[in-house]
């Protein structure tokens, strides 16, 4: 399981002409799920995200977590995070989980993230064509892969 975290001052998701998610200060999480992922990946990753100190304290030092600052989260599924680009010019998505595997894991990620934060997490829609807007704060962008825990 792979995520791209972006610390934002605002973010939103639009599907068609409908705004389905909108936050102020918080995190936009792009979530890529592969066939080999399980609840263990979700548990580790959501705990890591909830405690990750990437928000500024009173001195402007990144010393606070999303919980410390009371920030919000939007989770957007993004299978392209598992693109293999080694050969040729067309990315391969062979490692990305098929919907029958990915959807239950996506839903579990959201529920587990909500349990870790003690609050509702906003989302895009799995498999939809979404327009994601954000103002990256910092900029702070972090990649975390649950298969690389070093």
Q: Is 78 a catalytic residue?
A: yes
Which DSSP symbol is given to 86?
S
Among candidate residues 79, 109, 112, 122, the one labeled active-site is: 79
Task: List the chain pLDDT tens, one digit each, 150 residues.
Answer: 999 999 999 999 999 999 999 999 999 999 999 999 999 999 999 999 999 999 999 999 999 999 999 999 999 999 999 888 988 899 999 889 999 999 999 999 999 999 999 999 999 999 999 999 999 999 999 999 999 876
Query: CATH: 3.40.190.10, 3.50.80.10, 3.40.50.300, 3.10.180.10. Which one for 2-145?
Result: 3.50.80.10
Task: Tell me the CA distances in angstroms from 49 to 6, 16, 20, 79, one per residue in order.
Answer: 11, 30, 23, 19
Q: Is 80 a catalytic residue?
A: yes
Among candidate residues 6, 46, 55, 78, the one labeled active-site is: 78
Whether the full predicted model's pTM is greater than 0.85, yes or no, is yes
Q: Give dist(CA 117, CA 73) in Å, integer.
A: 10
Among candidate residues 9, 39, 80, 133, the one labeled active-site is: 80
């Amino acid at each position: 399981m792979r995520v791209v975290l972006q610390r934002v001052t605002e973010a939103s998701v639009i599907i068609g002409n409908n705004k389905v998610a909108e936050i102020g200060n918080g995190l936009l999480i792009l979530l890529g799920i592969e066939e080999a992922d399980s609840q263990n990946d979700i548990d580790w990753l959501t705990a890591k995200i909830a405690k990750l100190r990437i928000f500024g304290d009173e001195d402007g030092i990144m010393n606070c977590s999303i919980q410390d600052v009371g920030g919000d989260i939007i989770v957007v599924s993004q299978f392209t995070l598992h693109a293999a680009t080694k050969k040729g010019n067309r990315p391969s998505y062979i490692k990305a989980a098929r919907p029958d595997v990915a959807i239950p894991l996506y839903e579990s990620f959201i529920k587990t993230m909500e349990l870790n934060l003690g609050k509702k997490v906003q989302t895009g829609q799995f498999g939809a064509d979404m327009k994601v807007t954000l103002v990256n704060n910092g900029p702070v962008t972090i990649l975390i892969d649950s298969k690389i825990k070093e």
